[in-house]
Amino acid sequence: MNTALLKGDGGTAISHSKESLSLAYVQALLAATGLNHNEPKIDNDGVDITIRGKGFEGVFKEPKIEVQLKCTAKSDCIDLENNELVFQLEKKNYNYLTGILLHFL
């Protein structure tokens, strides 16, 4: 079943509700830490939010990280034994986010 087409009680697609929940959670964390963020108007490259810092000491005075957010109701993503969250990411998204861009002739 295609869950992207399922709608919640309010009529919004469940996938859109999950995206909104992910962004709201990260925005709350950023507000508490004083970090800034940018959101692309169109997510066409796997980046949902860019987190930015300013005025830090050391090598990274203005750190920046691009993040792809995930929200799921699946309990099998939680590995309690290793204290990890595990989510299968499409290869193209993983390669883009890690900077591994392979071009074949």
Residue 37 CB-density burial (10 A; 0-12 exposed, 13-18 middle, 19+ buried): middle
Query: How many domains would you assign to the chain?
Result: 1
The rounded distance, in Å, linking the Cα atoms of 41 and 23 is 13
User: Which pLDDT value is given to residue 33?
Assistant: 92
The rounded distance, in Å, linking the Cα atoms of 69 and 88 is 12
pLDDT-above-90 percentage for the chain: 24
Q: Is residue 57 part of a domain?
A: yes
Q: Is residue 49 part of a domain?
A: yes
Q: Is residue 30 part of a domain?
A: yes
Q: Give the range of the structural domain holding residue 12, as residue numbers without chain letter.
A: 3-72
Is the Cβ–Cβ distance between 52 and 60 less than 8 Å? no
User: Which pLDDT value is given to residue 105?
Assistant: 43
Q: Say yes or no to pLDDT of 99 above 50.
A: yes
The owner of tokens 């990260």 is 26
The sign of the torsion formed by the CA atoms of 53, 68, 88, 99 equals: negative
50 — pLDDT class (breaks 50, 70, 90): very high
pTM over 0.75: no
4 — pLDDT class (breaks 50, 70, 90): low
